Chain A
Amino acid sequence: MTQIASSISLPTKGPTTKGLSNATIARVFTVPGQVVSMLVLILPLLVALYMSFTDWSPTRGSLFDAVFVGFENYSELFVYDTRFTYAVIRTFLISTVCLCLEFSFGLGLAVLFMRKFRGKSVLFSAFLTPMMILPVVVGYIFWMLFQSNGPINQVLEFMFGAEAMMEWFRSAPPAIFAVILTEVWHWTPLFFLILLSGLNSVPENPVRAAVILGANPRQVFWRVIMPTLKPVIIVAFVIRAMEIIKLFDEVFMLTRGGPGSSTETISLYIYKLAFNDFQLAYGAAAAFMVLIGSLVLVHMLLAPVRDQLLEGE
């Protein structure tokens, strides 16, 4: 918090004009934003931390009357409750698979868009459509598509016969597959968009030089274009990783974490714990661990792109 306070109070150069001093202006302009950011950042952390050492629940009255229970919630979380650990592992696995698929499909599509063809701008907009649809609706659409009498089973039956039809949400592997497919459909366009804008800004001269020197198209792509694209690729991965770690809406609509807890993500686990079972204090312990984990992760993720993201070029 002290870092922020000092970051805004230093006046910078500028013409001497009438009116308020630079330092005052800086404070007046940025304080509302910082107060709000603090509220969403520090306050939940502190409250979650305090709560996680109590056994408070909504029926117990005021927050301040809560009884301290020491590390009971935490030992429960890590020692007895494998659901939490599994949810963390599952979220990371789903994220990794999704990001790899989204990157591959997005890159493939972006490379196709470097070619010349008719109706390019219309197709470009069409391919961006999924990312413009709200997550809840995407979850709902795929929930319908995966119904046992839905169109996906219909197509499977048409192509491979009746035995290919599935009950998608009755067992874990197909349910996880459905979640991944939904997520990939929803967010591949973002990779496509970012990678295409990267490909479009690859300078032409090195490419021409490589061609003149006798490089074949494959070599040009992997040795000349991909290295220039690297910063863009990293940004795409970091941004998507920050989002997919929070995965909730689509899974909520598709499976509610089921069957059992086999598709539970971190967010869904905390949601169920706190708002279905009303174990708010225990949920707070989980939330606090997740918040701390996110802080560590975001700093790790941002390390390679810090300059690009924070300096704006």
Chain B
Amino acid sequence: MEKKLSPLQTVIMGVALIVVLFPVFWILMTAIKPPTDWNASPAIWIPSEPTFVNFQTLFDPDALGKYGVGGVSQPATKAVLGSILATFVSTALSVIIGLFSAIGISRYGNNSKATPLIILSGRMFPPAAIAVPFVIIFSNIGLIDSYIGLIAIYVAVTLPFSTWMLKSFVEDLPREIEEAAMIDGRSKLAAHLTVTIPLIKGGLFATTMFIFILNWSEFMFALVLSYTDVSTIPVQLAKYVTATAGTLYGVQAALAVLAMIPLVIVGYLIQGHLARGMTFGAIKQ
């Protein structure tokens, strides 16, 4: 019953494809534009002399010197390392805690409707509204501008996601498999470690990648909890735009590209699980 696309539909599809891909094309092109092309009017679509100097400038602010243009005031090195540190640690913690919660809820819970509702409500709180009390608490206990504070928040806000997504994978697994291992004489903990976890490793990977995406993209908390010691790529990007009144397009675009490359790769890797992840496991593909 599959029909072919009509000519009109092919045109619509083509236009949609251009609309979807053009912004991506634009940021990639801007990232390799030499300073002379950054702010040209009319705008230059394809750089005359593609260059990687913008990427170089991110780590060596003087690299733009040969074009006679002042570089950025702050290299992005710390932001890149900060993003990596905060994202990796908080993703690992969130997935590990979430994994045990998921097994606990799906194997030993009594299917109470309160827990999931509370978890999901937490997901809907606007970060700005959570950030206000947290900044107040953190400034009273000295966790402002520290990676510990930032990681703690990241774990807390991604935990509902990791728990819920992993729970849907654990529930896909027949209980009998674990029970067989338990009857064989293994303790419950051992049965989960040696049977449950290896059997859901595909789901575990997808969840980890998913939480990685959430933490890597996070902006609001990093913005309000960082001053000088802590920085992440999204915050640095916002700072570049403010500090230079937005004129260093090439360097900003280079940082933006750097930020999006890992996410696009990870996104394609877990494409098959995206629907499940984004819908808390309500839709399984």
Q: Which residues of A contact B (CB under 8 A)?
A: 3-4, 6-8, 10-12, 14-15, 17-20, 22-23, 25-30, 32-34, 36-37, 39-41, 43-45, 47-48, 51, 56, 58, 62-63, 105, 108-109, 112, 114-117, 123, 125-138, 140-145, 147, 149-151, 154, 185, 189-190, 193-194, 197-198, 204, 207-208, 232, 235-236, 239, 242, 245-246, 248-249, 252-253, 266-268, 270-271, 274-275, 280, 283-284, 286-288, 290-291, 294-295, 297-299, 302, 305-306, 308-313
Contacts and interface: CB of A to CB of B under 8 A. Distances in A.
B224 interface: yes
Given A36-B97, A151-B45, A299-B117, A137 B127 contact: no
A274 B131 contact: yes
B187 A17 contact: yes
Given A17-B182, A129-B20, A136 B237 contact: yes
B27 A141 contact: yes
A147 B183 CA distance: 67
Given A18-B187, A267-B127, A26 B108 contact: yes
Given A39-B156, A48-B132, A312-B281, A154 B122 contact: no
Contacts of A40: 122, 125, 130, 153, 156-157, 159
Given A3-B114, A136-B219, A308-B282, A302 B132 contact: no
B133 interface: yes
A140 B124 contact: no
B168 to A, nearest CB: 5
A151 to B, nearest CB: 5
B28 to A, nearest CB: 10
B252 interface: yes
Contacts of A232: 283
B19 A185 contact: yes
Contact of A149 (B43, B156, B191): B43
A15 B183 contact: yes
Contacts of B246: 143
B113 interface: yes
Given A132-B267, A149-B43, A41 B125 contact: yes
A26 B105 CA distance: 7
A49 B217 CA distance: 29
A136 to B, nearest CB: 4
A198 B282 CA distance: 11
5 contacts: A30-B104, A134-B259, A145-B23, A291-B129, A309-B282
Nearest to A232: B283
B241 A253 contact: yes
B78 interface: no
Interface string B106-136: 0111111111111111111111111111111
Please list the 10 inter-chain residue pairs (A to B) with the smallest Cβ-Cβ separation, ordered nearest first.
Answer: A29-B104, A132-B267, A33-B101, A19-B187, A7-B112, A26-B108, A134-B217, A30-B104, A40-B156, A47-B133
A62 B142 CA distance: 12
A198 B20 CA distance: 22
Contacts of B13: 109, 112, 117, 123
A130 B20 contact: yes
Contact of B283 (A235, A246, A268): A235
A216 to B, nearest CB: 14
Interface stretch (B47-55, B56-64, B65-73, B271-279): B271-279
B228 interface: no
A191 B84 CA distance: 30
B238 A4 contact: no
Contacts of B168: 312
Contacts of A245: 124, 126
A31 B24 CA distance: 43
Nearest to A137: B256
Given A246-B128, A286-B132, 4 more contacts: A30-B100, A143-B246, A194-B279, A267-B127
A254 to B, nearest CB: 10
A109 B13 CA distance: 8
A134 B283 contact: no
Contact of A4 (B114, B140, B216): B114
A17 B190 CA distance: 12
Nearest to A111: B9
B260 interface: yes
Nearest to B160: A37
B26 interface: yes
B174 interface: no
Nearest to B163: A33
Nearest to B278: A190
B12 interface: yes
Contacts of B237: 136-137, 140
Contacts of A44: 125, 129-130, 132-134
Contacts of A313: 284
B108 A29 contact: yes
A313 to B, nearest CB: 8
Contact of A284 (B40, B107, B118, B132): B132
A285 to B, nearest CB: 10
Contacts of B2: 114-116
Contacts of A135: 217, 219
Contact of A280 (B136, B252, B275): B136
B140 to A, nearest CB: 5
Contacts of A132: 213, 260, 263-264, 266-268
Contacts of A294: 121, 124-126, 129
